Amino acid sequence: MSTPPTGRRLHRVAMVTVHTSPLAQPGEGDAGGMNVYVLEVARQLARRDIAVDLFTRTTSASQPAVVEVEPGVVVRHLAAGPYEGLSKEDLPGQLCAFAAGMMRVAAHAPPGYYDLVHSHYWLSGQVGWLAADRWGVPLVHTMHTMARVKNLHLADGDVPEPLGREIGEAQVVEAADRLVANTAREAQELVELYDADPARVVVAEPGVDLALFRPGSTLEARAAVGVPSDAVLLLFVGRIQPLKGPDVVVRAAAEMVRRRPELRSRLVVGILGGASGTGVRNPMGLPELAERLGIGDLVRFVPPVDRATLAQWYRAADVVPVPSHSESFGLVAVEAQACGTPVVAADVGGLPTAVGPGGVLVVGHDTADWATAISGVVLDPDRRAGLARASAEHAAGFGWARTAQRLAEVYADAMTHPREAPISDAELLTGIPSAVIP
């Protein structure tokens, strides 16, 4: 990779998100926290005079080739395989077509149009690696999730990530000038599980839209989303897949009713989200589970909603359980807390950072433990009020402007001090550092 001139000003970033559009509705299909992250960061960078072109795959014939989100933020849809019917697991075979689309865009732009590539998720990293090398600019990569981490914490019945993904991730780790981790724990996982160079790993914590997600009237929020004013509302938000653990919430709710039968008349369990990943291929059967446990009448399934309505749901809730088996950060936890709603979360990945003093961490996914932790919040008004105050205070430190500022610093450093070690042919083929190849 050629070295950018020292002191060169950063004008435009090519941001790559192959498998899911930043314009997609979070909570549906493969859209989730990463979609929110990419779009919010792009907006904040543009307000710092760093233009961002977001490259993503076309998934519908109705999508325009170019969408200007706001001045300085452009989404470019590239044709790579059939528009519909491809799962995330099918996309490695379309990366060549996607990369060709990026090359065509750059070929019609002035020389040196892009100063840096920032890729998100390993599929994008493979394409970003090629683009950065072709254009002679640095590659910054954010994993968001990692196969080796997910495989260490699989939910019952979930399917391990394939070896091909592990190899692809290792290649991107070796190729990137900088690796952006969401938390210090994720940075440690990159070093320990992928042999990443610690000098190239930096932490930039994700943020939250503090103007939208803010405390407000619980009664008004409940009226807006149709929840009784005297309800005890447990709210799960996320994609419906084993990784996210929505079944843990249903089981815990059933145990709470078993322990305290008088709760039945007031308990509402909101499951807000759509099926995703292995949850699409092998539906989790949450309605059937709720019926078997005798609380089918208490569980309300809500499809993904817009961001303003989501904020109302958070404000309406007594507690937001986040029982993920693996989580690089936990955007749902911070959004809920920004609305002044306590969180009960699994003690995994980046959730301890996201939750902080505004919530409760649970080790493992035992039903009894979760029922006890959730009950300890919703059935103790004084404790809940204290956690609500701490939640809002903690979340106030996670604005997107802070994330974008940190990324701008990382970009500048990558341009000034790109990685020096060349990548060997063996590393290109295997993703294994040349020092350990005989």
C-alpha span between 359 and 347 (Å, rounded): 11
C-alpha span between 135 and 141 (Å, rounded): 16
Ordered alpha helix ranges (H), 293-430: 307-316, 331-338, 351-355, 367-378, 381-395, 400-416, 425-430
**Contact criterion met (CB below 8 Å) for 323 and 365:** yes
19 is in an annotated binding site: yes
145 is in an annotated binding site: yes
DSSP string, 164-191: HHHHHHHHHHHH-SEEEESSHHHHHHHH
317 is in an annotated binding site: yes
341 is in an annotated binding site: yes
> CA 351, 357, 363 angle in degrees (round to 5)?
45
335 is in an annotated binding site: yes
143 is in an annotated binding site: no
**Within its chain, how far is the Cα of 144 from the centroid?**
6
Strand-pair category, 201-203 with 232-237: unpaired
Distances (CA, A) of 425 to 99, 140, 301, 422, 437: 20, 21, 51, 10, 11
244 is in an annotated binding site: yes
30 is in an annotated binding site: yes
Name the amino acid, one letter, at 82.
P
327 is in an annotated binding site: yes
88 is in an annotated binding site: yes
Closest to 332 measured CA to CA, from 120, 40, 34, 42: 34
Name the amino acid, one letter, at 311.
A
26 is in an annotated binding site: yes
63 is in an annotated binding site: no
**Within its chain, how far is the Cα of 163 from the centroid?**
22
C-alpha span between 239 and 224 (Å, rounded): 23
399 is in an annotated binding site: no
3-class DSSP assignment, residue 134: helix
* Tokens of residue 343, six digits: 């969180």
- Which amino acids are annotated as binding site, given as ranges? 19, 25-26, 30-35, 88, 121, 145, 165, 239, 244, 305, 314-315, 317, 327, 335, 341
- Which amino acids are annotated as binding site for 1D-myo-inositol 3-phosphate, given as ranges? 19, 30-35, 88, 121, 145, 165
- Which amino acids are annotated as binding site for UDP-N-acetyl-alpha-D-glucosamine, given as ranges? 25-26, 33, 239, 244, 305, 327, 335
- Which amino acids are annotated as binding site for Mg(2+), given as ranges? 314-315, 317, 341
